[in-house]
Amino acid sequence: MPQDAAIAFLLGVNYPWLNYAQDFGGGPWGHRGISAPENQAQVAQDFAAIRDSGATTVRWCLFGDGRAGFLTEKGIPRKPDALLFKDVDAVLSLAANCGLKLCLSLIDFLWLQDHGGKRVGHATELLLQSAAGREAFREHILIPLFREFRAHSSLFAWEIANEPEWAIREFHRERPAKMHLADFRVFAREVAQAVHATRMGSRVARDRIGFLPGALLSGDRGPGICEYWQAARCAARARQTFVARRTSCPRCCS
């Protein structure tokens, strides 16, 4: 646990997405991001319910499986698209209006997997399978993102990956899990270092299972995340407040 007792325990809500992997930036199917007026209205309503329930922190997935939010040239990420920062700013502003802090989870394990064409694909689905792709994504997309929002009062932390163990072959023998633990550790460490190099108050959070190997983020002392679903459901029922929104889950419905 972090040494700062003020962040030893946080009451939060896992609000994974409004539209999976399309909440931030434009994509192959157009713009469905948080800055769209209809989405701002929905999120404002949900954030108010989260605040009224007593929670103070919200965890939200940012790039998901990598289908939106940045521009590429010959398959290599070159820069954030025109809507990425606008959408991130919108969700942070909505959080600020409700006195909430956001933990933004950068990538989903689905983007770290190799599905061999068995899922509905997109142009950058295999980007993170190569060291060059991971480096370009970090340098041209993540670092500008970290710099842009490093001082935002509603940004609590960046989480590097959601459930990365599902993509790591030392943990799972299913075919999509092709990334080696050593390669992911290098990527995670470099992302954490990039946050630390640009931060003004933001932290690096480790996924609740993603730090199982002990020193997955060697030297990092960011907060871990633990979800206790049963307690959250009971609290929501008792107060008749927020029930987390989920659209069709890409893990089960693809």
Per-residue pLDDT reduced to its tens digit, 169-213: 999 888 889 999 999 999 999 999 999 998 765 667 655 433 333
Q: What is the pTM of this model?
A: 0.79
At the topology level of CATH, where does 10-253 sit? Answer: TIM Barrel (3.20.20)
CA dist 193 → 5, 186, 196, 218 (Å) = 23, 11, 5, 10
Closest residue by Cα to residue 188 from 128, 115, 122: 128
**Phi, psi at residue 155, to the nearest 5°?**
-90, 110
Q: What is the pLDDT along the chain (254 residues), one digit of tens a residue?
A: 344 545 567 789 999 999 999 999 998 889 999 999 999 999 999 999 999 999 999 999 999 999 999 999 988 999 999 999 999 999 999 999 999 999 999 999 999 999 776 665 788 988 999 999 999 999 999 999 999 999 999 999 999 999 999 999 999 888 889 999 999 999 999 999 999 998 765 667 655 433 333 233 333 334 444 343 333 333 333 333 333 333 333 433 33
Q: Specify the pLDDT at position 122.
A: 82
Domain ranges of the chain: 10-253
